[in-house]
């Protein structure tokens, strides 16, 4: 995640006419100003909307960079009398290009069909971006840093069927191609000792089970999410390497008073077989263990969790505080209190659409090696 400078995007968004919202009812336009829904509009009478903002930031790795990010959200009306209320669906995207000729294009979707009979999830990404490699394990040193660059093309498509209220079962397909590697001379990646150092194709079939009782998938006030999945990367379906991942995710939300929310998230990820380094688990990201670059620590497995307290401030502004802990590891004996990665921090929220609870967020997370800013659309989890 980009460090420090991306928070300037928040101010450019507030000062410029850069938000656009589209509805299917003409009278709804009166409730909007520069794309932001009225604070009095807390009733979901709009079926769809689109929010977009430009990106402008600077880092030593990218120099000046520009692009755009946004969210398209919509809701399908229930079919029949007293049918199940369909929750809001969303499609997110981000694209930026830097002065160093680096390109990152990413998108994801979370779509509930009518009456939530089906849930469609997926993502795509193209990336040509330099990164850092510090070695494998939770005790790697910053002084071991070596730089590399590669191209990535990734696609995931998940199809889920509702088998019981809030319970979905389904299958997933994941395709990922990693190619065009360039390395720091004399490093571990160049000498070929790291699995996947030269990329390849990862092709997997996944089995997924989800229990989702959240009242809103963009910004949850109450409910739970429990997801278990297993992905099988096999040469028989085109994968360069033979490995398997087991993933467990649990999220719980308690509405305390008014719009105050306590949110819990825990994650576990276990790998088996010949896992390439790019597909290993990592400690840190914009969602869990904020305060660490995504690939600062990586290994086959990961265990971690975090707790977040969300509350309103004034007008469209809100705030969160959060704390978490977790780590990557090869085997359980690698875990220790002396190495565990902690994360503490706080963030601001700005309400875009009160009815759909759509926020933009600016977080600062602090860990063992310093702190990082994160600017994103929608909540971290």
CATH of the domain at 269: 2.40.160
User: What is the separation of C-alpha 89 from the centre of its chain, rounded to a whole number of angstroms?
Assistant: 16
For every one of its 381 residues, what pLDDT tens digit does the chain have, with 9 covering 90 and above?
A: 333 333 333 333 333 333 334 443 444 444 454 445 556 555 445 567 887 878 776 554 566 778 988 888 888 877 765 566 787 888 988 898 888 788 899 999 989 898 889 999 999 999 897 888 999 999 999 888 998 999 999 999 999 999 998 899 999 999 999 999 998 888 889 888 899 999 999 999 999 999 999 988 889 999 999 999 999 999 999 999 999 999 999 999 999 988 899 999 999 999 999 999 999 999 988 888 988 888 889 999 999 999 999 999 999 999 999 999 999 999 999 999 989 999 999 999 998 878 778 888 889 999 998 888 887 777 889
**Is 326 a member of any domain?**
no
Per DSSP, which regions of 60-166 are E strands?
63-74, 89-98, 103-112, 118-133, 146-164
pLDDT, residue 376, reads 74
Counting the structural domains of the chain, the total is 1
**Is 44 a member of any domain?**
yes
CA atoms within 13 Å, Cβ hemisphere of 119: 24
pLDDT, residue 221, reads 94
Contact assessment for residue 221 and residue 207, using Cβ atoms and an 8 Å cutoff: no
**Is 148 a member of any domain?**
yes
**Is 101 a member of any domain?**
yes
**Is 337 a member of any domain?**
no
Long-range contacts from 64-70, C-beta under 8 angstroms, 24+ separation: 64/98, 64/99, 65/96, 65/97, 65/98, 65/99, 65/102, 66/96, 66/97, 67/94, 67/95, 67/96, 67/97, 67/104, 68/93, 68/94, 68/95, 68/96, 69/93, 69/94, 69/95, 69/377, 70/94, 70/377
Concatenate the DSSP letters of all residues of 207-238 into one string. Answer: EEEEEE--S-SSS-SSEEEEEEEEEEE-GGGT
Contact assessment for residue 106 and residue 376, using Cβ atoms and an 8 Å cutoff: no
**Is 28 a member of any domain?**
yes
Per DSSP, which regions of 30-100 are E strands?
32-33, 36-37, 48-59, 63-74, 89-98
**Is 195 a member of any domain?**
yes
Cα 231 from Cα 208, distance rounded (Å) = 9
Q: Which domain holds residue 268?
A: 5-274
Cα 71 from Cα 269, distance rounded (Å) = 28
**Is 205 a member of any domain?**
yes
What the block records as the tokens of 99 is 């002065």
């Amino acid at each position: 995640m980009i460090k420090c400078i991306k928070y300037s995007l928040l101010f450019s968004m507030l000062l410029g006419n850069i938000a656009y919202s589209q509805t299917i009812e003409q009278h709804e336009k009166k409730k909007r100003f520069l794309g932001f829904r009225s604070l009095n509009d807390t009733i979901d009478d709009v079926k769809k909307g689109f929010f977009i903002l430009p990106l402008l930031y600077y880092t030593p790795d990218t120099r000046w960079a520009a692009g755009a990010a946004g969210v398209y959200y919509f809701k399908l009306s229930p079919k029949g009398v007293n049918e199940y209320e369909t929750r809001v669906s969303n499609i997110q995207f981000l694209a930026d290009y830097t002065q160093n000729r680096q390109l990152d294009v990413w998108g994801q979707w979370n779509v509930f069909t009518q009456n939530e009979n089906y849930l469609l999830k997926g993502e795509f990404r193209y990336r040509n971006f330099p990164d850092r490699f510090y070695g494998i394990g939770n005790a790697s040193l910053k002084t071991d840093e070596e730089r590399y660059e590669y191209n990535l093309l990734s696609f995931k498509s998940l199809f889920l069927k509702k088998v019981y209220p809030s319970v979905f079962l389904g299958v997933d397909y994941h395709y990922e191609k990693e190619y065009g590697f360039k390395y720091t001379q004399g490093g571990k990646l160049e000498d070929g000792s790291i699995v996947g150092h030269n990329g390849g194709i990862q092709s997997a079939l996944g089995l997924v089970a989800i229990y989702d009782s959240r009242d809103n998938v963009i910004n949850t006030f109450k409910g739970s999410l429990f997801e278990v999945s297993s992905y099988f990367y096999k040469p028989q379906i085109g994968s360069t390497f033979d490995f398997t991942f087991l993933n467990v995710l649990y999220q719980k939300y308690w509405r305390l008073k008014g719009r105050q929310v306590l949110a819990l998230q825990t994650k576990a990820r276990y790998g088996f077989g010949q896992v390439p380094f790019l597909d290993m688990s990592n400690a840190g990201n914009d969602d869990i263990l904020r305060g660490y670059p995504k690939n600062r620590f990586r290994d086959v497995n990961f265990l971690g969790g975090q707790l977040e307290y969300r509350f309103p401030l004034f007008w469209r502004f809100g705030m969160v505080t959060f704390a978490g802990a977790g780590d990557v590891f090869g085997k359980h004996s690698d875990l220790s209190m002396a190495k565990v990665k902690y994360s503490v921090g706080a963030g601001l929220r700005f309400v875009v659409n009160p009815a759909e609870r759509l926020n933009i967020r600016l977080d600062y997370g602090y860990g063992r090696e310093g702190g990082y800013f994160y600017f994103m659309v929608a909540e971290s989890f």
